[in-house]
Chains A and B, each alone.
Chain A
Amino acid sequence: MGFPYQPHDREQAVLSRYFGDAGARSLDGWRQRGGYRALESALGMEPAAIVSIVKDSGLRGRGGAGFPTGMKWSFMKPGDGKPHYLCCNADESEPGTFKDREIMRWTPHALIEGCAIGAYAIGAETCFVYIRGEFTEPLRVMEAALRETYAAGILGSNAMGTGKRVDIYIHKGAGAYICGEETAMMNSIEGRRGNPRIKPPFPAVAGLFGQPTTINNVETLAAVPHILNEGAAWYKGFCLSNPKSTGTKLFSVCGNVARPGNYEVVMGFPFRDFLYDLCGGPVAGRSFKAVIPGGSSVPIQTMPEAEATLMDYEGFVAQGSMLGSGGVIVFDDAQCMVKHIGRLARFYAHESCAQCTQCREGTAWVTKIMERIEAGGGTMRDLDTLLELSENMTGKTICVLSDSCAAPVVSGIQKFRHEFEAHIAGKGCPLRATVAA
């Protein structure tokens, strides 16, 4: 639904059904809307049975990587005598993405219920919800909802009267994009710099505080109560294209589009219809030029690519990009791709944790070159240099921040080379020259 929360009839509102409905925020309101039924039944089930249902639903991670959630949960070995942890990744920092924020603002109990079920399913008694520090309102809403939940005996040492312990705590971030990377998040919770860790060991073996840990995105966990309530087959039935991509997916849309906002569609929805029908197309008098469909870390799509895309994990890959976090950034014909790609590079240079050489030095260097080209000081040789640096920044570091910086640069030069060349030939931005004249 576009801002301010006007649902579109082609949406499939599961997670977003109560966006804009302030009554859904309270515990009572949430219970009236069917809340905590799923948790109640989950606590009466064997954890393995929950994992099995989630596996059958086909639910995949909504944070970016798309790893099957049920399989991830099955890596947590029950009865190993160690404390297990669930981390909920609410560090939503990927430029273009703002769906988890809305889930927490409007339906905090959906997330709390999902966290509690997830924790129980993986044998964890403690769940940390890592919310980025800038999300002041989601933090307030989540804290209030947690207080209600504890007061009602839903959480704590005797969750819903079952004698099982489920504790959920909020851990507030403090300004670091990289803490959305799961191992960086664990370091951040432990009171360290948010440096990603080398894998192996994987979190399911040695994660938070060295114990078996699972990290799930907000949207992933929020979907779980619905899956338990309605069944795996129901969720799996949401599929318009590839059977490996099931369920509904929230897409955040921003940039130069008539109706920005969050839209929830069934996996495999045509991207063309999504952009022109649901989002209302470009603003008056303009036309679309490019789309970054899965948050700023994925390759840029040209409009022919975007318009041929079916919106699921495989569909975006088939059209030269990735579904990523589902943050759709749209640029229209008044925008300078060189400027925006340079600005994205600056974002990554700002956020690099400084561990790996290629990332620490490469993101900053690429930014300098991009900004020089944008300012009119570029040469054709710079383009070759950028591509070579990008190659050296891809697939060689502990995490993928460096790759993420390279992706828009490489796809930008490949798909919008004429804009780079125009900056070099005209010693500056042709769009700016037009405005000045």
Chain B
Amino acid sequence: MSADEPGTARETSPSAHGNTARGNGSQGASGEYQPVFVGPVRDELDRIIARYPVKMAALLPALWQVQEARGWVSEHSMAEVAQVLDLTPAYVKGVVTFYTMYHQHPVGRYFVQVCTTSPCGACGADDTVAAFLRHTGCADLGATSEDGKFTVIEVECLGACGFATPVMINEEFLESVTAEKVPDILAQLR
């Protein structure tokens, strides 16, 4: 399935995806959970673990690996991470829910984070958010557009206040995004 085909990224509906890099469910065709920590990913984790005196310290990096592989961190994956790092799933979940960058549910192919904290708020961040919602067709903050491509959220300070309004789209960090620039930015993604 090509990345352009619509589909929601739910772990429970693996058939809607195929091989898209982001938003891919963590279940294979059989419906069985496919572990993340195999092959090179596992090797990478072992290298990370070696940096720390305790295995548990590799938890945040391991969760990043999961999110990189699957686009989000499912309960299945939390259980896998727990098993790999000798923790309990409940412990892992407590940590996952603390950090806002781990997605606890699937998100759109392009995950748009717009800073709206006061400094940006004083420079038109609210208009930038509104423009992203309007032009992506997302019904609301946090909701994924019908084509499965976009999820737009407000975030707290992105640490680039002098470049209001900073916007993160997946790994890309954009500076000085005004409402007027939004259509062009989205056009490049489409």
Contact = CB atoms under 8 A, between A and B. Distances in A.
The answer to whether any beta carbons of A and B sit under 8 Å apart in the complex is yes
A88 B103 CA distance: 26
B156 A177 contact: yes
A335 B162 contact: no
B61 to A, nearest CB: 7
Contacts of A262: 162
A347 B60 contact: no
Contact of B122 (A3, A169, A192, A255): A255
A253 B160 CA distance: 10
A227 to B, nearest CB: 26
B156 A331 contact: no
Nearest to B58: A191
A260 interface: yes
A136 B101 CA distance: 12
B57, B64, B116 interface centre (most CB from chain A within 10 Å):
B57
A215 B121 CA distance: 31
B163 to A, nearest CB: 7
A171 interface: yes
A137 interface: yes
A98 B118 contact: no
Contacts of A312: none
Contacts of B122: 255-256, 329, 331, 335, 340
Contacts of A353: 98
B159 A254 contact: no
B130 interface: no
A351 B56 contact: no
Contacts of B60: 171-174, 188-189, 191
Contact of B118 (A132, A137, A340, A350): A340
Contacts of A296: 117-119, 157
A92 interface: yes
A193 B95 CA distance: 5
Contacts of A261: 162
Nearest to A283: B123
A296 to B, nearest CB: 7
Contacts of B156: 93, 95, 177, 347, 350-351
A376 interface: no
Interface residues of B, number: 44
Most chain A CB inside 10 Å of its own CB: which residue of B85, B98, B160, B168: B98
Contacts of B155: 134, 175
Contact of B123 (A167, A252, A256, A344): A256
Given A96-B119, A190-B56, A134 B164 contact: no
A114 B53 CA distance: 24
A260 B122 CA distance: 13
B59 interface: yes
B39 interface: no
A95 B161 contact: yes
A134 B159 contact: yes
Given A192-B95, A194-B99, A347-B118, A101 B159 contact: yes
A100 B122 CA distance: 22
Contact of A194 (B53, B56, B98): B98
A80 to B, nearest CB: 16
B190 interface: no
A347 B117 contact: yes
Contacts of A134: 101, 113, 155, 158-159, 168, 173
Contacts of A94: 157
B118 A343 contact: yes
Interface string A125-136: 010000011111
Interface residues of A, number: 56
Nearest to B53: A209
B172 interface: yes
B121 A343 contact: yes
A3 B52 CA distance: 39
A430 interface: no
A7 interface: no
Contacts of B85: 191
A66 interface: no
Nearest to A339: B121
A98 B98 CA distance: 23
Given A174-B102, A190-B57, A132 B159 contact: yes
A135 B63 CA distance: 17
Given A95-B117, A134-B101, A344-B117, A172 B64 contact: yes
A343 B117 contact: yes
Nearest to B55: A191
Contacts of A252: 161-162
B173 A254 contact: no
B161 A329 contact: yes
Contacts of B32: none
Shortest beta-carbon contacts, A-B, top 9: A191-B59, A175-B101, A174-B99, A254-B161, A175-B100, A260-B162, A191-B56, A193-B98, A95-B157
Interface of A: 3, 83, 92-98, 100-101, 126, 132-137, 167, 169, 171-177, 188-194, 209, 252-256, 260-262, 296, 327, 329, 331, 335, 339-340, 343-344, 347, 350-351, 353
13 contacts: A3-B163, A83-B53, A133-B64, A134-B113, A134-B158, A189-B57, A190-B56, A191-B58, A252-B162, A255-B119, A260-B161, A340-B121, A347-B117
Interface of B: 51-54, 56-61, 63-64, 85, 87, 94-95, 98-102, 113, 116-119, 121-123, 155-164, 168, 171-173, 176
Given A136-B171, A193-B94, A296-B119, 8 more contacts: A93-B156, A97-B161, A133-B64, A135-B159, A172-B61, A176-B99, A191-B56, A253-B162
